[in-house]
Structure formats: C-alpha cells, structure tokens
Amino acid sequence: MAMPALRVLVIWPPQVLSYFNAGHHNLIYSVADYLRRQPEVDQVDTLDASVESQTWKEVGDRLHQGGYDVVAVTNDLDGVDGLTRFLTYTRQLAPRARVVTFGRLSGMLPRMFTRFDLDAIVGSGDYEPGVAAFVRAVGEGPPTAGALPGVWLRTDGEWSEPTAPGGVLLAQDWVMPDISEIPYHAYDWLYRDDQNKFCGIPGRRELVVPAARGCPVGCDYCEVPAVFGKPDRRASVEQVVRYIEESFAALPFEYVAFYAPTFTLNRSWTTRLCEQLMERGARYPWKCATTVHHLDEELVSLMGRSGCVRVSVGVETLAESGHAALPRLKRKSESAVEALAAWCERAGIELNCFVIVGLPGTSVADAEAAIAGVRAVGGRVRPTMYSPHEQLHPGMSVDALALHNRQILPDDAFPEPVERQRAYDIVFGREQRPTRVGEQVGERRAAAPAAGSRS
C-alpha cells in the first residue's frame, strides 16, 4: 500500500503580539522540520503571520493555493482572540484540511479549545510527536476516539480526551530550527527598540538555540512545568555547538540566545559548553536566562570568558512579604543580587533582572524598591505584571484570558487608581537606562579569532 503524500502548513496566525520572544516562535520551525522527517509527509510550509505582519488576504491566499491536508496552528497565552477568524478562513479556503492546534496555552488548558472549530488539540507532551501523530492519523484514516497520546480528537462532532499522555522526545531527537526559513528581518525589526524590553538585542542579529526543555524550580506563574514537564532535558553540548557553528557559517548572525528555562541548572553541562566555546576563541557572544540560585562567582567568570554578554535572572521581588509566592530557592535578598551584580561586572556581563509587579504579598512600593535596588548595583530591569495562573480555567472568556498577558493588571490588583497608575508606570514608562550590550557584541565579534581557529 502506497504511503500518503500529505501537505502540511504550520502557522502562527495573524495576531498583534503582546510580547516577542523569538524562542517561543521558533518552535513552529522545529515542528515543521520534525514533520519533514515523517515518511507520510510530502511537503511542509511554515508561516509566522504575526511576525511578518501578514494581512488576512495574504493568509487567505496561502490557504487557498496550498492544497493542504493538515493545518497545524499555534496557540499562545494571549493569542486566542484571532483563532476564530483564522479557523473561518481555513474552513472556507482550505475545506479539505484537517486542523490541529498546539502551543503553550493548549498545553495548560486543552479543554478550553474544544469550543473552537478544530479537529484536534495537542494537550500534553512535546509538540512535535503530538502534531506528527495527528498528521499520520489523517493519512491513515479517521483515528479512534482517544487513540493518539496527548491529543484530543473531535470525531462525529464529539470531543474525546486522550487515553495516554503525550510523547516526550529525548533531546537527541529534537530538530533544531531550519534557519533558512526563519524571517530574521522581521525579528530584527521587532527587537529594534530597547524601550520594548523584548529579549533581543537591538541592532544585532540573533541566533536562537533551543538548549533545554522542562524546569523543576516550580514557579506558580510559569507555564513551563505544565507544558514541558519538570525534568530538565538538554541537547548535548556537541549538538548545540555544531548548530551554532553551522548557522554562523551560513548567515550573518552576531550573537546567540540560548533558549532554556533555567540555563545553568545543569552546572556540568554549562561548564562543558563554556569550555567548548572558549576552545573556539569565544567568538560567539551569547546570552541566557537562569536564576540567582544557580550562579556563583566561579561560574559567572567562566561564562564571561566564554562570550556571555547578558544573563537574565528572576529576582521577582526583594520584599520578604512576597517570598511566600516564590519557590524557596528564588527567595533572595538584596545582598545576593548585589553579589551577583559584582560578579557580572567583573566578568563583563550585563545583569538583566526580571521584577514582578503585583506579586501576591507585595505592594507597588515593593516593586519600585526592587527596581531601585537592581539599578543601584548596575543591573538592567525588565518588569512584568503578575499573572495568576491558578485563575485560568477552560470556561473563561477570550477577553478574560487576554488579561493574563503579563501587561494588564487583574481587576483585584491595586484597586486604588493612583496605585494602578504607578504600577503601569513601571511596566509602560520610559526607560532612562537603555542597554549597551549591542556595543559589547560588536566589540567581542571584532576581537574574535577567525572561524575554524582554536585558542
């Protein structure tokens, strides 16, 4: 029996983004490349319509002309408001296509998506095997209710939950994103203004390297454990370094952004990576995100020598009244942040600190004090609003869900108008101390040895 030759579109639908992190968006390219390795798949197209500012007409052209058998559409924490319109276009212009959704929100609230005109929902496990299982089922024939691990299915108008959890890939089976299809010009544009406090470095081309999935730290306001699990899974150092070298040889990247929930969680892995980068002359400037707890002076020094230019940490608050809302290992004092700032300064690394406005047990004044404390020791601040994930539930409206985008305050937070305005001044006010990391990247790249050399 001949294998089917399926055509698949993997798409991030049109959306006005609340925030941009290239690591979140690059997952569509990892899913696409994983599908290309499946024998029943003939062609996979990708489109990040949100990043590329595509109009609905352009999206409609793609759907109408593509001849797709499956459309895999991403979902995110606050991007559901455009899903209904996208599905209307898909059903009208690609009527034979089966539609599956995957993403961070369906990994937390799969049942919420049963209200939409979908055929399947990846509700648990890694995205790649979930989407691939549904694509395979489309080629083989209608799947039995509940038959696909981690995937909710709609058959004869009725939804069924999966009878087994979704598959989790070994790190060796991850597929690094294909850099030839990623719209880096659009990423550059989104990162152009440091006032946005997006994670990229203005004026410098970023290569995102997916290094790890999962996190055992256990922050209640973070979706990572629910979506990717608590165990830390990592690509090998060799796989990571090879991807960096091949990518820099192919396109004019200027620095590396390691995409990992807690980058330095595995100290031996981090040490080996730094050593490998130093063997290559520390010619790849890089940045990462981790916790204060998982850093010390020796490790920070090693990271700086290997090319690290920025490390982001979740300070969240310095007020003891807010510590109850944090995992124990994240309850850090001002002196701990001060020590880290000194290590970073000696290592030539910019310290970027996340501060949460509205964390339970804290006031606006506490957030202001944390920001002042970070700035006093030379750190950069990236503030966000607290999002109470425990309030998320499948029956909530799309409008209510949009309030959990880490930019808008919940109704019960800081009811006094003056306090709310102070809170919004923190997140939306103008930053007087823009980053200088772009200059540092340029200096490190200029001083780096030629490709292929060792030092």
Please give the single-letter amino acid code of residue 134.
Answer: F
Q: What share of the chain is helix, strand, coil (3-state, %, to 5)?
A: 40, 20, 40
For 431-453, what is the mean pLDDT?
82
Q: What is the pLDDT of residue 455?
A: 47
Spatial CA neighbour of 329 closest among 215, 212, 214, 218 = 218
Same CATH fold, 191-447 and 6-160?
no
In whole angstroms, give the CA distance from residue 194 to residue 196.
5
CATH 3.40.50.300 is the classification of domain 6-160: no
Spatial CA neighbour of 316 closest among 296, 330, 334, 300 = 330
Reported for 428-436, long-range contacts at CB under 8 A and 24+ positions apart, including other chains, are: 430/195, 431/194, 431/195, 431/197, 433/375, 433/380, 434/194, 434/195, 435/194, 435/201, 435/202, 435/310, 435/350, 435/380, 436/350
* Three-state secondary structure call for residue 229: coil
Q: What is the pLDDT of residue 453?
A: 55
Angle at which helix 297-306 crosses helix 267-279, to 10 degrees, equals 30
pLDDT in tens, 158-210: 999 999 999 999 999 999 999 999 999 999 999 999 999 888 999 999 999 99
For residue 218, which phi and psi values (nearest 5 degrees)?
85, 40
Neighbours of 308 (CB within 10 A): 28
**CA-based radius of gyration for the chain:** 22
CATH architecture of 191-447: Alpha-Beta Barrel (3.20)
DSSP H or E stretch at residue 401:
helix 398-402
In eight-state DSSP terms, residue 118 is -
Please give the single-letter amino acid code of residue 154.
Answer: R
Q: Looking at the predicted structure, is the pLDDT value of residue 142 above 90? A: no
Please give the single-letter amino acid code of residue 110.
Answer: P
* Three-state secondary structure call for residue 406: coil
pLDDT in tens, 374-420: 999 999 999 999 988 888 899 998 888 887 888 988 777 888 999 99
pLDDT in tens, 338-373: 999 999 999 999 999 999 999 999 999 999 999 999
Question: pTM for this one?
Answer: 0.94
Given a contact cutoff of 8 angstroms between Cβ atoms, the answer to whether 8 and 35 are in contact is yes
Show the tokens assigned to 184.
Answer: 């880096």
Q: What is the pLDDT of residue 263?
A: 97
pLDDT in tens, 32-59: 999 999 999 999 999 999 999 999 999 9
Q: Where are the domains of the chain?
A: 6-160, 191-447
Q: What is the pLDDT of residue 1?
A: 45
In whole angstroms, give the CA distance from residue 230 to residue 226.
8
Non-local CB neighbours of 67 within 8 Å, separated by 6+ positions: 7
